[in-house]
Structure 1
Amino acid sequence: MRYRYGRWSGGADPLAPPVDLRAAVDELGREIMEGASPSSALRELLRRGVDGTRGLDDMTSRLWQRRSSIQRRHRLDGTLSEVRRLLDSALEAERRALFPDPSDDARFREAQLDALPPGTAAAVQELSSYDWRSSEAREAFSQIRELLGRELLDQRFQGMKEALSNVDSDDVKRIQRMLADLNSLLEAHAAGSPDTPRLFDDFMRKHGDFFPENPRNVDELIDALAARSAAAQRMMNSMTDAQRAELSALSQQAFGGIGSQLSTLDSLLQRLRPGEDWTSSARFRGQDPLGLGEGAQAMADLAELDALAEQLGQSYPGARLEDIDLEALERQLGSSAAVDARRLAELEKALRQQNILERAPDGSLRLTPKALRRLGETALRGVVDQLRSSQGSRDTVSAGAAGELMGSSRPWQFGDTEPWDVPRTLRNAVLRSGSMSLDVVDLEVSDTEHRTRAAVALCVDTSWSMVQDGRWVPMKRTALALHHLVRTRFRTDALQLVTFGRYAEAVDIGQLTSLEGVWEQGTNLHHALLLAGRHVRRHPDAQPVVLVVTDGEPTAHLEPEGDAEFNYPPLPRTLTKTLNEVDALARLGATISVFKLGDDPRLAEFVDIVARRGGGRVVSPDEEGLGAAVVSDYLRSRRRR
C-alpha cells in the first residue's frame, strides 16, 4: 500500500498542543491585579485570545467585515435585470422576423410591440398571450417563465435552482403537487389536526427529495422553510417600491402558476413562526446583481452573521462559549475560525474544570488557591531573577544554610553548603549511567530550614495615589511573591497581609489580588500598625518583622470610637499616634522596614524617623524593584536572626 501525507483539513488538528493553562492563568492574574474582576478578566482573555489562537474580538471583526463586504459588492435586482435582458432579446428577435414581411399583419404586430408598457412586469404580462412569429423569440420568452419559476423556488427552497436547470412539463406538475401537499400539511398543522404526523410521513415519502435537510418532523420542516421564507421577505423589504411591485407582478408569470401557491406558503409560515424576522431590511450598494435565490441566501447570511456576532459578544446573561454555532462560524469564516472558537471554549472549560476559577458564595467568579499559588510562583520567579542579576548575587530563596532537614532535596548548585542526600545522589548515578560512576549532575543536597519562627506583617498602601502613579500592580506582585515564599520555603512563619487607605484591614492573598482601586482619601498607617501589633502579639514565640510599602505620609488615624480622621497636611495628632504604634512595635522587638515609593520629601523625612525609632531601615526601590527589595529584606531579617 502507498500512503500520501498532507496538511490536515478535517477540522481541529488532532496533534495540536493543548491550550496553555499556565500562560492563561498568568494573563488572568495580570488583569485581576490591575483591578479587573475575575469574570471580566476571563472575558478580556477570551476577547484577546492566547498565543496561537485568535480571540473573540478578531472573529467578530471579521464577521463585520464579511457583512459589509456582502452589502458593498451586491445589489438585489439580478432577477429583474435577467428578465429584462430576455425580454429585450425576444423583442429584438421578433422584430427581425417581422421586418422583411410586407403584410399588414406584420405591421400590426410591430405596432403591438411598440405599444408595450415600459415596465418589465407589465410588458411580460401583455405578451403572455402573444403569438410569436420567431422561434428564437418564443424560446427567449419561455425562458422568462422558467427563470422566474426557478428563482422563486430557489428563494424558498435552497438549491432548487440548480436541481431544476431543465424544467419539463412533468417537473412542473411534480412541483405543483408538492406545493399543494405542503400547504395542506401546514394548514392541518396550524389547525391542530391529530393527523399531522401521518400527513408529514406521507408528504416526506412522496416529496422528500425536495428537502435535503431531511427534517424528522413537521416542526423541523417548518423551521427550515420559515427561516428561508423570512430571508426572502427581508430581501423584498430591502428593495425599492418599484422593484417590489415589478417582482410581485412577475411572480404571477412563473411556470405552472406557482406564484400564488408560494404566496399561500409564505402566509402560512408567517402565521406558524411569527418570531422569525419578517420585517427588517438591509441596504445593498454594490454592482454585482443577485437573483432571488442568491438574494435570499445573502439575507440569510446577514442574519447568521448577526447571530454569530451576538454569540461571540457573550454579553447576554449566562453566556458561554459553548453557545457559539461552530458550523455557522465555519460557513462564514472558514474552518480556522471554528478551530479557534473551539480552542477558546476548551480553555474556558479547562479553567473551570482544572480548579483555576470557582464560584464565590455570592455567585461571582474568583481565583482558586491553586491559581493564586501559580501567580505567586510567577511573581517569586521574577523577584529571584532580579536578585540574581543584582551585583552578581545568586539565588537567595534557599530554604536555609543550616538547620533541621525538611525531607526534600534539590539538585546541587555551585556554592551550596547543605548536606548531600546520598541515596538520591546514588540513584541519579545509576539511572544516568547504569553504574555507580558519579558525576556532578547526579548530586542532590537536602533542604534544611531554621526552626526559629517569624511573625511577618506586610502592610501595603492602597490609597488612590498607588493606582494613579502605576504602583498598584507592583504592590500586589510583591505581596504574591512574599506570600508564596513564606508558604513554600518558610512554612513555620506567620504572614499577615494588611492593606491601608482611609482604614486598614487584614486580608488574605485572594482578597488582595482581586482588590480594586477606589478613590479614597487617607493613608492610615496608624491603623495598619495597630493590626500588625495584634498579629505580632498572637505569636509571642516568633521574631516580629514589619514591612511597610507606601508612597505617602500618614494623613489619617483611627479614633478610639473606631472612626478614621483624615487631614492634609497631616495633623500633629495623626503623626503622634502613628509614631506611638512604631514605639509599641519596637518594644515588642519588631523591626520596621519602610519601602518608600516616589520622591515626596515629607514622606522621606517621616520614614527616616520611623526607621530610627523602629530599629529598621528605609529602602527606596523603583516600582519594578519593589518585590526584590521586600523579599531581600525579609530574607536579611532571617539571616540576622
Structure 2
Amino acid sequence: MAKGRRAAYSRWDGSQVGFELDAFDVFEEMTDDLLYHGDINAALRRMLQSGFHDRNGERLQGLREMLEKLRRSRRDRLEQYDLGGVYDDIAQELREVVDTERRSLEDLVREARESGDLRRREITEQVAQERQMQLDMLSPDLAGMVRDLQRYEFTSSEARQRFDELLDQLRQQLVQSYVNQMAGAMSNVSPEQMQRMKDMLAELNRMLEQRQRGEEPDFEGFMERYGDFFPENPRDLDELLEVMAQRMAAMQALLNSMTPEQRAQLQGLAEQLLEDMDLRWQVDQLGENLRSMFPDLGWNRRYDFTGQDPLSFAEAASMLQELGDIDQLENLLRGATNPGALAEVDLDRARDLLGDDAARSLERMAELARLLEEAGLIENKEGHLELTPRGIRRVGQNALSDLFRKMTDDQFGRHELQRTGVGHERDFDTKPYEFGDPFNLHIGRTIRNAIQRTGGGIPVALAPDDFEVERTEQLVRSSTVLMLDLSLSMPMRDNFLPAKKVAMALHALISSQFPRDYLGIVGFSEVARELKPEQLPEVSWDFVYGTNMQHAFQISRRLLARQSGTKQIIMITDGEPTAHITPSGDVFFNYPPVRETVDATLREVGRCTREGIRINTFMLDPTPHLRAFVEKLSELNRGRAFFTTPETLGDYVLVDFIEQRRQLLKGRRAS
C-alpha cells in the first residue's frame, strides 16, 4: 500500500518565500501608469515591457530586456561562425581519403620495385600512374569529387572504407536535415532503412491529402508503424506537422543563407548522395505541403554569417534551427499585447535561449491577467480588459495611500468619523443619559457604573442612572465639485498625473470616510463635461487647446444646485482662462486671454458666490496672468488660492479638504 503524503506546517515568520505574485500588489505597481494613460490594457502592456518587482523584491524581467538578449544572442552567433565550414570539413575529409589512396599507390610501386620482378614492376607502375592521373583529374566541386570517387577503383582498402563511411555519414545528415531531423530511427542508411523512410514519407503525404479533402487521417496507426522516426512524440498530426515545418524552414534558411556557389554545391551533393528519385520527390512534396500549411514560418529568411569559426554540416543545420527558434520567440514576445499571449511561449526553449530567470519571469507574467480577474479587479469583455467597480475603487485607494505616505504624521491625523449612524456622528466622549438623548449606549461604561454602584456580583443589575451614552453631534454634510483641467498643457508640463491622482484619491476618501458627502467631477479644456467616478481611471487629457473655466463653473454650479450642505468647488489648473461659451453657444478661444473671456468667467464666479459656493483654486506652475486672474477670483468669491507644485498638490488638496471638514464639525458643535 502506498504511503500517503505528510505535510508539516509552521507559523509564518516572514523568512519564508512564497506568494510572490499578489493581484493587489501588481495593481498598485501599475496605478500611476493606469492613471496617466487611462487604459488597463495599455498599462498591462507597458508593465510586460518594463518588468517589475514582486512582493519579495525579486525582479521579473520585462519583454524589452528579453528582446535585447535575443538580438544580442543572434548577433553573437552570426559574428562568430562561418557557413563555409560546411564544405571545408567535407573537402578536408575527401582530401584525406585521396591522400590515403596516393600513399597506398606509392607503397605498391615501392614493393614492386623491391621485389626484383621486372614485369610486376612495369604493370604496377603503369596502373599506379593511371590511378594517380585519375586522382589528379578529380572535379574541383564537392558533388563532382564525390561522383568521381564513387566511380574510382580504390587500391587502398583503408581509403575505400573511409570514403564509404563518409558517404554514409553525409547521407544520414542530408536525410535528417531534409526531413526535419525526425529520422531518429535511422542509425544507418541501409537500403532497407531508406525504403522504410520512403514509405513513411509517402504515407505522410497521403495523410495530408486526406486532410485537405476533409477526411480524418489515421494518425494513431501511422504512429504505431513509424513512431520511432519521431523522438518528439507528437500528440496529434497538427503538432507533428508544425514541428516538421519549423525544421524544414530552418533547412531552407540554411540554403538561403549560403552564397550561390555554396548553395549549388550543397544541392549537387544532395543529388549525388540521394540518388533515389522517389525519395527526393517525396521530400519535395512534403516541403510544398508544409509551406502552404504554414506560410508564416519564415521560409524566405536568411542570415549573414560574418565570423571565422567553421561549422560542420550537422552543426550548421542545428545552428539554423536555433536561429529560427530565436526568431520565433522574438516575434512572439514582440507581438505579445497582453499577459495571456505569453501562455504560447515554449518555456523549455525560452529557458535554453534566455536562461532560468527569463523563463520564470515569462511563466509568472503569463498569470497576471488571470490573477487580476480572479481578484475581481478586471474583467474580460470580448477580448478587451476593463476595470470592474472594485478595480476602480482600488485605483482610488492606491492613489490615496500613495499621497498619504508622503505626508508626515503631524500634518494630518485620521478624521474623527469611525462609523456613521442615521443623523449623527460620534464624538468619542460619553455622558449620563438624559431623557431625549439618542440611545447610543456605551456598554462598557454603563456596566462599570452598575458594578461601582452595587459593589459587584453576578448578575449585574442595571438601573437607569447607570446608563451612559456617547455624545453625538448633528451630521454635517459637504458637497464638493472637483474641476480638473484636461487641457493639453497639463501633460506637456507633467501636471496631469498628479492632478488625476488627486481626483482619484479625493473620490476614494469621500466615498470611504465621508459616505454622506457629495463629490462631483468636471473635466474642462476647450469645453467642460461632467465625469462619472467610474470614468475617472480612463480619463485622459484632451488633444485640444483651450482652458474653459467659464463652462466648467456653469456645470459645477448646476451639479451643486441639486445638493445640500456646505458647497465648494476645488479647481486644479495650470493655466488662465483662454476659452468661453458665447451667447450663441459657440466656443471662443484665444491665447493669450482676452478681456471678453476673463469677464465671462468672472461672471460665472459671481453666480457661484451668490449661490453660496466657495471656490478654492490649486494652481500648478502659475504664470503672471494666472496669478492675476486667481487673485481677482478669490477677491470676488472669498475662496482661497494655493500656489503649489506637482509634488505637493496632493498634500495641499487632501489636507485642505480634511481641515475644512473639521472646521465644519467644530462650527456645528459651537452652535
Q: Same fold (TM over 0.5)?
A: yes
TM-superposition CA deviations, 1:563-611 (whole Å, max 9, x none): 2222334333333332222222222222221222223222222212222
Task: Provide the residue aligned with 2:413 in structure 1.
Answer: 395
Tell me the TM-score normalised to structure 2 length: 0.79
Quick one: which of 514, 524, 545 aligns to 2:548? 524
Superposed, 1:389-538 pairs within 5 Å as 392-399=410-417, 451-538=475-562
* 1-structure distance, mates of 2:153, 2:184: 30
Task: Report the Cα distance in structure 2 between the residues aligned to 1:163 and 1:346, rounded to whole angstroms.
Answer: 39
Partner of 2:649: 626
- Number of the residue aligned with 1:568: 591
- CA shift digits 1:59-79 (9 cap, x unpaired): 222222222233233333444
Q: Verify the 8 A CA contact 2:179 2:244 in the aligned structure 1.
A: yes
Aligned counterpart for 2:169 among listed residues 131, 142, 147: 147
After TM superposition, the structure 1 = structure 2 runs for residues 342-361 of structure 1, keeping only pairs within 5 Å, are 342-358=363-379
* 1:134 alignment counterpart: 156
Q: Measure the CA separation in 1 of the matches of 2:405 and 2:474.
A: 24
Is the 8 Å Cα contact of residues 34 and 472 (structure 1) preserved in structure 2? yes
- Further displaced range: 214-223 or 134-143: 214-223
Residue 408 of structure 1, CA deviation: 10
Q: Is the 8 A contact 1:533 1:585 kept in 2?
A: yes
In the alignment, which of 85, 88, 92 is matched to residue 92 of structure 2? Answer: 85
Partner of 1:95: 102
Indicate if the aligned counterparts of 2:340 and 2:369 stay in contact, CA closer than 8 A: no
Question: Given the alignment, which residue of 218, 221, 233 partners 2:252?
Answer: 233
Partner deviation per Cα, 1:456-493 (whole Å, 9 max, x = no partner): 11112222222222211111111112111111111111
Look up the match of 1:185.
203
Residues 81-90 or 202-211, more deviating: 202-211
Q: Does 1:174 align with 2:192?
A: yes
Q: Structure 1 residues 514 and 187, CA, compared in 2 at 3 Å: closer, same or farther?
A: closer
Alignment partner of 1:242 out of 256, 261, 269 = 261
Task: Give the distance between the partners of 2:73 and 2:619, measured in 1 at CA.
Answer: 54
- Residue 625 of structure 1 and its aligned partner are, at CA, apart by 1.2
Is the 8 Å Cα contact of residues 70 and 354 (structure 2) preserved in structure 1?
yes
SS in 2 for 1:463: coil
Partner of 2:121: none
1:332 to 2:332 alignment: no
Return the offset for 1:494.
0.6
CA deviation after TM superposition for structure 1 residue 516, in Å? 2.1
Q: In structure 1, what residue type is equivalent to 2:249?
A: A
Following the alignment from structure 2 to structure 1, what is the Cα–Cα distance between the partners of residues 523 and 328?
46
Q: Deviations over 1:412-457 (max 9, x none)?
A: xxxxxxx998779x9xxxxxxxxxxxxxxxxxxx998861111111
SS of 1:496 mapped into structure 2: strand
For the residues of structure 2 that align with 1:219 and 1:628, how far apart are their CA atoms? Answer: 60
Q: Is the 8 A contact 1:402 1:448 kept in 2?
A: no
CA distance in 1, matches of 2:301, 2:381: 43
TM-score (norm: length of structure 1): 0.82
SS of residue in 1 equivalent to 2:31: helix
Aligned to 2:45: 43
Match 2:313 to one of 289, 292, 313: 292
2: distance between equivalents of 1:586 and 1:336?
62
Q: 1:449 to 1:360 in 2, by over 3 A?
A: farther
Residue of structure 2 in register with 1:17 after alignment: 19
Structure 2 residue matching 1:592: 3-state secondary structure: strand
Q: Distance in 1 between matches of 2:571 and 2:209?
A: 78
In structure 2, give the amino acid aligned to 1:41. A
Answer whether contact 1:379 1:481 (CA < 8 A) is retained. Answer: yes
Instruction: Tell me the SS of whatever aligns to 1:310.
Output: helix
For 1:70, the equivalent position in structure 2 comes to 77
Determine which of 120, 131, 138 is the counterpart of 1:109: 131
Identify if the C-alpha distance between structure 1 residues 529 and 92 changes in structure 2 by more than 3 Å, giving closer, same or farther.
same
Residue 8 (structure 1) aligns with: none
Amino acid at match of 1:43: R
Q: Which has the larger radius of gyration?
A: 2
Instruction: Specify the code of the residue in structure 2 equivalent to 1:55.
Output: G
Unaligned runs of 5+ in 1: 2-13, 411-418, 427-445
- Quick check: 2:399–2:504 contact (8 Å CA) kept in 1? yes
Indicate the SS of the match to 2:37.
Answer: coil
1:280 equivalent in structure 2: 301
Match of 1:295, SS? helix
Higher mean alpha-carbon deviation, 289-298 vs 598-607, is at 289-298
Judged with a 3 Å threshold, the aligned counterparts in structure 2 of structure 1 residues 260 and 482 are, in CA distance, closer, same or farther, namely same
Q: Are 1:374 and 2:394 counterparts?
A: yes
- Report the CA distance shift for 1:332/1:383 in structure 2 as closer, same or farther (over 3 A): closer
2-structure distance, mates of 1:155, 1:536: 77
Tell me if the contact between 2:425 and 2:474 (Cα under 8 Å) persists in the aligned partners: no
Q: Alignment RMSD, CA only?
A: 3.7
Q: Distance in 1 between matches of 2:324 and 2:547?
A: 55
Q: Which runs of 5+ in 2 are unaligned?
A: 4-15, 54-58, 114-124, 429-439, 448-469, 665-671
**Is the 2:201–2:282 Cα contact (8 Å) retained in structure 1?**
yes
AA in 2 matched with 1:274: R
